[in-house]
Amino acid sequence: MSLEGGLAMATRKKKGSAPEERLEADRRLLELLAAQCGEEAGLHRPLNDVTGGVITGIPEETDLAQALSDRETSDLLVHLLDQNREQVERALERLREGAYGICEGCGRRIPGARLRYQPAATRCVECQAHWDRINGRTA
């Protein structure tokens, strides 16, 4: 797999490495969380504290331990973690292609404010909403 090569290439150009660092950190965190979910580790903290707001689509006050004790919520959580990790990896891919910050849907530049809030975004708000509708996602 060319992941290593791609990463090395992306890290070589120092300019604008901030979103990449944040995305890599997000990815590591999501992998860690996914592992913890698998082990059903009881973390008695609000989920958003644990995730640092990385995961979208989970109610803010959801407690991870509580979520994991409920099979259905736990499955949803694992699903969301997967989905979010996928999105982060997609953004990293775009970064390596030099297309980071360009909407996958309409090809226009994604507003900087959106990227600061959601660094893994690969679509503008309009295209993301459209895509979510097509794919049946509510996040």
Q: Which positions lie near Zn ion, rule CB under 5 A? A: 103, 105-106, 124, 127
CB of 125 to Zn ion, least distance (A): 8
Residue position matching structure tokens 């300019």: 15
**Residues 95, 83: Cα–Cα separation, whole Å:** 18
CB of 132 to Zn ion, least distance (A): 13
Considering the complex, state which of residue 70 and residue 126 has its C-beta at the smaller distance from Zn ion: 126
Considering the complex, state which of residue 88 and residue 124 has its C-beta at the smaller distance from Zn ion: 124
**Residues 21, 41: Cα–Cα separation, whole Å:** 27
Considering the complex, state which of residue 125 and residue 139 has its C-beta at the smaller distance from Zn ion: 125
Which residues in 72-92 are b (16+ Cβ under 10 Å) and which e? ebbeebeebbebbbebbbbbb
CB of 130 to Zn ion, least distance (A): 8
